[in-house]
Amino acid sequence: MYPKSFEQLVGALEALPGVGTKTAQRYAFTLLNKTEKAQELAEALAAIKNLRRCKKCGFLSENDLCEICNDSHRDISTIMVVASDQDLTAVERTGQYHGLYHVLNGTLSSTKGIYPEDLNLETLYERLDGIKEVIIAISPTIDGEMTALYLDKVLKKYPLKITRLAYGLPMGANLDYADDMTITKALIHRQKFEEQ
């Protein structure tokens, strides 16, 4: 019914989570009427082609190494393992953590069929030389807990301290949605893995 290029735009928008046909059409019409915004969006979309994963930690980056891995002021004896880019930025936002990160890009899941080889784990094991502490900072959901237990089991083979965030969060809560104070407290009161 609509011109092909318009239908293509609607189709692309519909692929986004939570966007149905009606919403996609509304977005498409908005973009048509706001050409300046549409141009901005087009440029932003073109630029994401340059984004890649940091070779060391797996965080989003425009270069081989991300800004955090490249920062000489970070404590290089501590790695915090997080499930996603959003979780990393949630912790970083608090300004309370100065070590390095490792982004798994997911959690293990028996229901979704996500196994250790699907996560960014191999590069983590390659980084453990000289590391004194690994902080497991994975949201305490069912899949998150399974991932944390798996990591604890594997990391025990290395001579380092394994801690995890002391959640003031209820089970099932998402780290990404926690406020800064909750994350800060959880970081300060992190515990040895075995104690929980």
List residues binding Zn ion (CB under 5 A).
54, 56-57, 59, 66, 69
> Taking the complex as a whole, how short is the minimal distance between the CB of residue 87 and Zn ion, in angstroms?
14
Task: State which amino acid sits at residue 179.
Answer: D
Give 8 or 70: the residue with its C-beta nearer to Zn ion: 70
**Residues 66, 165: Cα–Cα separation, whole Å:** 24
* C-alpha dihedral (152, 154, 157, 159), degrees to nearest 10: -50
> Taking the complex as a whole, how short is the minimal distance between the CB of residue 153 and Zn ion, in angstroms?
25
Give 19 or 60: the residue with its C-beta nearer to Zn ion: 60
Cα angle 168-18-114, degrees, rounded to a multiple of 5: 60
Give 36 or 122: the residue with its C-beta nearer to Zn ion: 122
Give 8 or 77: the residue with its C-beta nearer to Zn ion: 77
Cβ proximity of 57 and 103 under 8 Å: yes
> Taking the complex as a whole, how short is the minimal distance between the CB of residue 66 and Zn ion, in angstroms?
3
> Taking the complex as a whole, how short is the minimal distance between the CB of residue 123 and Zn ion, in angstroms?
10
Task: State which amino acid sits at residue 173.
Answer: A
> Taking the complex as a whole, how short is the minimal distance between the CB of residue 25 and Zn ion, in angstroms?
39
> Taking the complex as a whole, how short is the minimal distance between the CB of residue 103 and Zn ion, in angstroms?
8
Say which residues have a Cβ less than 8 Å from residue 94's Cβ, sequence separation at least 6: 180, 183, 184, 187
Give 88 or 178: the residue with its C-beta nearer to Zn ion: 88
Rg (CA), the chain: 20
Task: State which amino acid sits at residue 39.
Answer: Q
DSSP letters, 23-40, are HHHHHHHHHHH-HHHHHH
Two tokens at 21? 């046909």
Please name every residue paired with 162 in a beta bridge, in sequence order, or none if there are none. 134
Give 13 or 103: the residue with its C-beta nearer to Zn ion: 103
